[in-house]
Amino acid sequence: MTTLWIGSYPAAGLGTPVGTGEGVWRAEMAADGSLTAEQVTTQDAPSFVLAHPGGGVLYAVEESGSTALSVRSTADAREMARVAVGGQDGCHLLLSADSRTLYVANYSSGELNVVLLDAAGLPLDSAPQQIWRHEGSGPREDRQEGPHAHFSALSPCGGYVLVCDLGTDQIRRYSIGADGLLADPGIAATLPAGAGPRHLAVRGDLLYVVCELDHHLRTYRWDRAAGEADLLAEQPTTIAPQRTGDALYDAHVVLHERPAGDVLLVSVRGADVISVFDVAPEGELTYRAAFDTGYWPRHFAVVGDRLVSVAEKGHSVRSYALADVLGLAPEMENGAIAELPHHSVGVVSPSCIAS
């Protein structure tokens, strides 16, 4: 059995009052991909979860008006520590390469928080050691009225933390010191106005950036000397049609490396699919197909030989055989959506999955 951790929103959905019974769920996945799940905590909208690689510690950031980081035991889900990171609507967690620093992104207030950890993965203090806030806005008045730090990643070679700022159409960068603290804030890339960069994946010196607002997947080449990224290519995240909601909302991206050729996977809400792109040796992307993932696929992960996806508004978690995903044939009809066999389990408003 493989243990999975699932963050969640209130039952009524993102944007509704928090503290209505939502919490972290623990799922068990059998070798055949079948799932069971139970809610193990009650807390305000733990929308993003991350497990410490040393085992024993689970981080959950609460997406609320006053963001907090909850640190819990994986054995019994009890809270071992709590960090008041402040700001509004924490939405993403990144662990440093040495697992001694946690970077916490706040969406609505636009901050990146730096939380130092001890060897066991517990915070050194009840407050962040650093808080970095960006300034600016974008042309979309409904979504870009200010900075929105949505996601962070380590740059190629690991010298910087990169932050996708959906509100300012920028990828911010901070150099990483030996102690995990950040310095030298700057802009690694400025995207087209209204793009809304949300998440990114790294392959060698390439960055694949999913843009939520203009529904494009953009490829950038990282310049190590300058600490900047240059645009190489752009294309739609999917050609599958909108099926639910009021628009398309691109979500998460995962690079899966394999000897037969790397594959890039992108989830798109509204179309309710994961798109499959083949990656050429030099990094060019070719759209291959898309498959149904249930209602509103916010986040997904490759776990062993399975792909596990959360359907937020469908209130379920799905498990697919990775071989079925990677074996999808190129679509025969423009915009076609494939149906793949899968296992599923009911989870209320799932938002994120970690193992």
Domain membership of residue 341 (yes or no) is yes
Q: Are 29 and 321 in contact (CB under 8 A)?
A: no
Which pair of structure tokens corresponds to residue 110? 């636009």
Domain membership of residue 309 (yes or no) is yes
Flag residues of the chain having pLDDT under 50.
Answer: none
Compute the Cα dihedral for 244, 247, 252, 255 and give only its sign: positive
- Side by side, the strands of the sheet bearing 297-303 are 297-303, 306-311, 316-321, 342-346
Domain membership of residue 166 (yes or no) is no
Q: Are 251 and 268 in contact (CB under 8 A)?
A: yes
pLDDT at 338: 96
Which pair of structure tokens corresponds to residue 336? 């076609």
Alpha helices in the chain (DSSP H): 322-326
37 dihedral zone (left: phi>0; alpha: psi -120 to 50; beta): beta
SS3 157: helix
Per-residue pLDDT tens over the stretch 16-33: 999 999 999 999 999 999
DSSP designation for 64: S
Alpha carbon distances (Å) from 201 to 153, 190, 264, 273, 300: 8, 17, 9, 18, 13
pLDDT at 160: 98
pLDDT at 86: 84
Domain membership of residue 304 (yes or no) is yes
pLDDT at 345: 98
Q: How many domains does the chain have?
A: 1
Furthest-apart CA atoms within the chain: distance in Å: 56
What pTM, to 2 d.p., does this model score? 0.97
Alpha carbons 174 and 172: distance in angstroms, whole number: 7
Strand partners, 293: none
Domain membership of residue 59 (yes or no) is no
Alpha carbons 216 and 221: distance in angstroms, whole number: 16
Q: Are 235 and 285 in contact (CB under 8 A)?
A: yes
Domain membership of residue 257 (yes or no) is yes
DSSP H helix total and E strand total for the chain = 1, 28
DSSP designation for 178: T
Domain membership of residue 256 (yes or no) is yes
SS3 259: coil
SS3 50: strand
pLDDT at 322: 98
Domain membership of residue 116 (yes or no) is no
pLDDT at 332: 77
Which pair of structure tokens corresponds to residue 207? 């960055």
Domain that holds residue 286: 242-355
SS3 156: helix
84-118 exposure pattern, b = at least 16 Cβ within 10 A, e = fewer: ebbbbbbbbbbbbeebebbbbbbbbbbbbbbbbbe
